[in-house]
Amino acid sequence: EAQVTQNPRYLITVTGKKLTVTCSQNMNHEYMSWYRQDPGLGLRQIYYSMNVEVTDKGDVPEGYKVSRKEKRNFPLILESPSPNQTSLYFCASSGSGGGTDTQYFGPGTRLTVL
């Protein structure tokens, strides 16, 4: 089954404790992206990757890191989480550019930073 998986689905952590949210897709997609979703603000892009070893900033990259060492995986790293990073996070992938091709979203990761 074609899918994007994220782990964990739910996470409660404390300020400053480094964490990684994993994202994996099995569709051999070149494009992957991370978004956060907050009430009233819609989806905001954090980072995206056009291909392996190619990443770029979205609109809200501060406080986040990503890496794309292999095509299928695109982890999101919060080196020192803060309460303002409490949010719902989605990973997505598509065959090419994010808007020109169908973008498939993972189920989401709900993160709470205390």
Chain residues binding another protein by CB under 8 A are 31, 33, 35, 40-45, 48, 50, 56, 58-59, 90, 92, 97-108
CB of 28 to another protein, least distance (A): 17
Contact 70, 59 (CB under 8 A): no
Distance from first CA to last CA of the chain, Å, rounded?
A: 36
User: Is the CB of 69 or the CB of 102 nearer to another protein?
Assistant: 102
Minimum CB separation of residue 107 from another protein in Å reads 6
* Residue nearer to another protein on the CB measure, 18 or 22: 22
Amino acid identity for residue 64 in this structure: Y
Q: Where are the beta strands (DSSP E) in 39-81?
A: 42-51, 54-57, 65-66, 76-78
Closest distance to another protein from the beta carbon of 80 (Å)? 25
Identify the burial level of 53 via C-beta atoms within 10 angstroms of its C-beta, where 0-12 means exposed, 13-18 middle and 19 or more buried.
exposed
Least distance from another protein to the Cβ atom of residue 109, Å: 11
Cβ closer to another protein: 57 or 80?
57
Q: Which residue has the tokens 């995206």?
A: 48
